[in-house]
Structure 1
Amino acid sequence: MYDAFVVGGGPSGATAAEDLARAGCKVALLDRDGRIKPCGGAIPPRAIRDFDIPDHLVVAKIRTARMISPTGRAVDIHIEGGYVGMVDREDFDEFLRDRARMVGAERLTGTFLRVERDAAGTHVVWREKASGQERRSLCRVVIGADGAKSGVARAEVPGGDRIPYVIAYHEIIKAPAANAGYDPVRCDVVYDGQISPDFYGWVFPHGDRASVGMGTEDGAVDLKKATADLRAMAGLTDCETIRREGAPIPLKPLDRWDNGRDVVLAGDAAGVVAPSSGEGIYYAMAGGRAAATAAMAFLRSGRASELKMARKMFLKEHGTVFKVLRSMQNAYYRNDERRERFVSLCHDIDVQRLTFEAYMNKKLVAARPLAHLKIGVKNVMHLLGIVSPKWS
């Protein structure tokens, strides 16, 4: 009998398993093994602090973000007094899983099949990778952290089969030497309908490697061609390709994260990827911690209503940020004219400062009301077309 059975060994599931094991629970962590999620790999300083991420996992420290408009104009936003950390998911995720194991979680390798219930209780049925055999594991609570197309969510949580998502695709390449077009401490974010009609493309340094990719909701887009075009645009066509990866990324938190009985969701399975930016690692780990907290409350009290705590905790802290980012994506990502205006707006020094203060600390900054007012007026003027995009 496990207290908790965690399905999915990404940052969310591994964090939930570690927190539960540290609290003295008997925990199983089921992971498919061998899968690396496509991801730009950015983690803010708050993630490094909150989740005790060792420096050796940070393969690059980004000091500048370059926003590139459809016409090729660029705005460099310098990160004052800090950096954005870059991790390689192949190593980062494995570190988190192994850390959970070291504090007591039992690692299992296989594929989730279903949840069954009988007089003995709740059973997770899964297929063991090594033997190919079905296994049944008895547990008191299940945490579904198995991605945007979560099998746990689809089978157990109302609405879990209707999560909207973008398809992300990237290629990990051997990084070129620093040159006029590539800077190993700068992230490039490309807002261009030729690369993505409704999201963006990116070039993110990873030390001796780089992640080059894009995302879109449009199923008609040829992801590999768009990424090839992005590589050509960035002068990266001749760089060696190390691996290629694609996966869905959710766009909106689900309305329910639990089944009112014995299952709670976390991470991509719950839809917690930031709109506009697509940032997921920090929010996945925060969601995993919220799910673990709710699961522990449930295990102590036996009340299934405690599982609702996960969603309430997460949205209380991050819900407003998600709403603001969703509004921004809806306003500016719809066509190239709007994308041009968005990058133009990023010239404003107040926009730059407030954006990165919010990104680094995962909180909306309210300390400078006049700056907020100024940005709000500029934003409305751009959306109404009262002003033209200006470039310095």
Structure 2
Amino acid sequence: MSYDVVVVGGGPAGATAALDLAKAGRRVALIDRAGRIKPCGGAIPPRMIRDFDIPDSQIVARIRTARMISPTGRKVDIPIENGYVGMVDREQFDEFLRDRAAKGGAQRFTGTFLRIERDETGPEVIYRDKDSGEERRLRTRFVIGADGAKSVVGRAEIPGAHDIPFVIAYHEIVEAPAKTADYDPERCDVIYDGRISPDFYGWVFPHGKTASIGMGTGIDGVDLKKCTADLRAQAGLVDAPTIRREGAPIPLEPLKKWDNGRDVVLAGDAAGVVAPSSGEGIYYAMLGGRLAAKACESALKTGKAGDLAQARYWFMKDNKTTFRALRSMQDAYYKNDERRERFVSLCHDKDVQRLTFEAYMNKKLVNAQVMAHLKIGVKNVAHLMGIVKPTWT
């Protein structure tokens, strides 16, 4: 059987692309390796829940407060007004998305992608079947590479895919305790402390009956397990039984090119669409998968392979400004603990809190409140230049 599109990778990006194409009436194959669980805090904004029809059954916790913790242990609690941040567990969530794609009409295969071969009739995707160990071939017109930060598809097909910057994320899923002085099942803790992460941050994110405790870094030689153990001690979770441990690279910059101009387009982590500063990726992965599917649909209709480039164009048109702002914030404040201390202090500001969460919840920078933006800009410069000292209430 030949396919219109073969999707390599069954995470949020690949499963979304496969479902959208199947719903459009296309013949779609979805190839995914079994058993891989990406380390992820699991936070999803309300817009993602709305845009991608995420059912309540997948929301394992509802977060009402975000706590920022500075290197000196100062805490800033930011209430999430008029809503909540949903939490998912990737072990169940990714399988739900793959199963939904299959029920929607995509044909699902379990195995490891090997390569793409081409002849005069077009490309074939070769993968190793998990059960038999044999090589299998799927003929197709287009391929969506959604196989992660170190995408095998991307590195073989897309110039520059080898050069994408990333951090290594590591977390431990533990049995969550009841609410304690240090742990709240309705609060996400984000720890800006060089002892936990010298260039990124650590987190404690509730997942209902479990919790994700982890950190990320782009610096070689950092002992991720020791840093996470230190974070568990700080959060009072040393004795919480550990369920599983996971680590993986997380990209921090979109690739300059997502397609090969011929028959391949990337989506999700393979395309580098994880937000700087926050490391948020699930929403952007699903959006990237949707846009890759839309670009393939256009190319199938017009016969023009150049339409594949529309996926990146559409994504960057709506998100480039947000990504640049977040990159600037990371470059400014994640350099050392003095800067981190000032950043957490800045989070006390009500304008910062309001605009930050409005932007997060709705996935766009808020442009209407001009005076608030100006005030934040002035305060930001003052904190960076040391004109004001970190203050705490």
Determine the C-alpha separation between the residues in 2 that align with 1:122 and 1:53.
34
The residue aligned with 1:42 is 43
The residue aligned with 1:77 is 78
Give the length in aligned residue pairs. 392
Q: Specify the code of the residue in structure 2 equivalent to 1:93.
A: D
Is 1:159 aligned to 2:160, yes or no? yes
Determine the C-alpha separation between the residues in 2 that align with 1:267 and 1:214.
21
Cα distance per residue 1:98-149 (max 9 Å; x no partner): 1110110000000000110012210001100000001111000000000000
The residue aligned with 2:201 is 200
Determine the C-alpha separation between the residues in 1 that align with 2:131 and 2:303.
35
Q: Specify the code of the residue in structure 2 equivalent to 1:286.
A: L
The residue aligned with 1:60 is 61
The residue aligned with 2:184 is 183
Deviation at 1:184, TM superposition (A): 0.3
Q: Partner of 2:161: helix, strand, or coil?
A: coil
Determine the C-alpha separation between the residues in 1 that align with 2:294 and 2:269.
18
Determine the C-alpha separation between the residues in 1 that align with 2:54 and 2:353.
26
Q: Partner of 1:322: helix, strand, or coil?
A: helix
The residue aligned with 1:317 is 318
Q: Specify the code of the residue in structure 1 equivalent to 2:276.
A: P
Deviation at 1:376, TM superposition (A): 0.3
Let me know the Cα RMSD of the aligned residues.
0.5
The residue aligned with 1:341 is 342
Determine the C-alpha separation between the residues in 1 that align with 2:362 and 2:141.
35
The residue aligned with 1:130 is 131
Query: Where does 1:374-389 land on structure 2 (aligned, <5 Å)?
Result: 374-389=375-390
Q: Partner of 1:307: helix, strand, or coil?
A: helix
Determine the C-alpha separation between the residues in 2 that align with 1:159 and 1:139.
24
Q: Partner of 2:351: helix, strand, or coil?
A: helix
Q: Specify the code of the residue in structure 2 equivalent to 1:99.
A: R
Determine the C-alpha separation between the residues in 2 that align with 1:118 and 1:326.
42
Determine the C-alpha separation between the residues in 2 that align with 1:331 and 1:368.
23
Cα distance per residue 1:10-60 (max 9 Å; x no partner): 000000000000000000000001111000000000000000000010000
The residue aligned with 1:277 is 278
Deviation at 1:177, TM superposition (A): 1.2
The residue aligned with 1:364 is 365
Deviation at 1:302, TM superposition (A): 1.1
The residue aligned with 1:104 is 105
Q: Specify the code of the residue in structure 2 equivalent to 1:370.
A: M
The residue aligned with 1:258 is 259
- Structure 1 runs (4+) deviating above 6 angstroms are none
Q: Specify the code of the residue in structure 2 equivalent to 1:248.
A: P
Determine the C-alpha separation between the residues in 2 that align with 1:17 and 1:311.
18
Q: Specify the code of the residue in structure 2 equivalent to 1:297.
A: S
Determine the C-alpha separation between the residues in 2 that align with 1:366 and 1:122.
45
Q: Specify the code of the residue in structure 1 equivalent to 2:369.
A: R
Q: Specify the code of the residue in structure 1 equivalent to 2:307.
A: E
Is 1:91 aligned to 2:76, yes or no? no
Q: Partner of 1:114: helix, strand, or coil?
A: strand
Determine the C-alpha separation between the residues in 2 that align with 1:264 and 1:368.
37
The residue aligned with 1:352 is 353
Is 1:245 aligned to 2:241, yes or no? no
Determine the C-alpha separation between the residues in 1 that align with 2:251 and 2:245.
20
Q: Partner of 1:161: helix, strand, or coil?
A: helix
The residue aligned with 2:122 is 121
Q: Partner of 2:86: helix, strand, or coil?
A: strand
Q: Partner of 2:206: helix, strand, or coil?
A: strand
Determine the C-alpha separation between the residues in 1 that align with 2:300 and 2:368.
40
With normalisation by structure 1, the TM-score equals 1.00
Cα distance per residue 1:76-112 (max 9 Å; x no partner): 0000010000000011111111111011000000000
Q: Partner of 1:330: helix, strand, or coil?
A: helix
Query: Where does 1:143-158 land on structure 2 (aligned, <5 Å)?
Result: 143-158=144-159
Determine the C-alpha separation between the residues in 1 that align with 2:43 and 2:303.
38
Determine the C-alpha separation between the residues in 1 that align with 2:91 and 2:195.
30
Determine the C-alpha separation between the residues in 2 that align with 1:356 and 1:251.
21
The residue aligned with 2:224 is 223
Determine the C-alpha separation between the residues in 2 that align with 1:120 and 1:289.
27
Determine the C-alpha separation between the residues in 1 that align with 2:57 and 2:108.
23
Contiguous gaps of at least 5 residues in structure 1: none
With normalisation by structure 2, the TM-score equals 0.99
Q: Partner of 1:21: helix, strand, or coil?
A: helix
Cα distance per residue 1:286-313 (max 9 Å; x no partner): 0000100000001111111100000000
Q: Specify the code of the residue in structure 1 equivalent to 2:121.
A: A
Q: Specify the code of the residue in structure 1 equivalent to 2:283.
A: Y
